[in-house]
A and B are shown apart, each in its own frame.
Chain A
């Protein structure tokens, strides 16, 4: 039973389209995240949600809109996709706040914008 599951695994789309990535976790953690990994493997946080409340928004363009219907789900909607959005997007979950959270990552969604 996968702890953090993301769909789809691969997403190929044209510039200008709108797409969504879904994430679900069954670990019972309060906090969920979206991280972006670029082609050089740099992994950077985009958003953090705690109990459905937005905690961190790392100056991500407002074309990216996360939505958390409940604490087990965190979806990412992207409007007007651009070439530079091509990357691997990881959903993650972890324990609440404090030092040294241990993050559990999904397998990633590889987004290719053509």
Chain B
């Protein structure tokens, strides 16, 4: 079992839709979670990060962590064609990580006009 699992999709939605992207993780010691966005032929860029359980909101994006079920989600409201990208969840190992992030496989999202 991979430490972080993510449905690769692809996911196609119309503009304006609410998008839900999800990951599950296996190690209950994980405490920090991140979402990276990767446009085609580009490197991933950090979109949001959360610590522990609960929600974190940033504009149209909301990151949610449910530690009891080891489930993390990213919601995109009012999705735009410019949101079309691959979204990767990631987490560092417990303790000092030195950038050793474990990534999910990434979900390919297409928002069509």
Residues of chain A at the chain B interface (Cβ within 8 Å): 4, 31, 33, 40-45, 48, 50, 55-56, 58, 90, 92, 94, 96-108
Known: A48-B100, A56-B98. A105 touches B105 (CB 8 A): no
Whether A43 contacts B99 by the Cβ 8 Å rule is: no
Known: A42-B103, A42-B105, A103-B101. A98 touches B43 (CB 8 A): no
B71 within 8 Å of A (CB atoms): no
User: Which A residues are CB-close (under 8 A) to B92?
Assistant: 99-101
Select A107's contact among B42, B96, B101, beta carbons within 8 Å. B42
* A50–B96 CA distance with the chains assembled, in angstroms: 13
Q: What distance in Å separates the Cβ of A39 from its nearest Cβ neighbour in chain B?
A: 11
Residues of chain B at the chain A interface (Cβ within 8 Å): 8, 31-32, 34, 41-46, 49, 51, 86, 88, 92, 96-101, 103, 105-106, 108
User: Which B residues are CB-close (under 8 A) to A98?
Assistant: 96-97
Whether B46 contacts A92 by the Cβ 8 Å rule is: no
Known: A45-B99, A56-B98. A105 touches B43 (CB 8 A): yes
* A103–B8 CA distance with the chains assembled, in angstroms: 22
Whether A103 contacts B46 by the Cβ 8 Å rule is: yes
Whether A100 contacts B51 by the Cβ 8 Å rule is: yes
Whether A33 contacts B43 by the Cβ 8 Å rule is: no
* A90–B46 CA distance with the chains assembled, in angstroms: 14
Q: What distance in Å separates the Cβ of B42 from its nearest Cβ neighbour in chain A?
A: 5
User: Which A residues are CB-close (under 8 A) to B32?
Assistant: 99-100
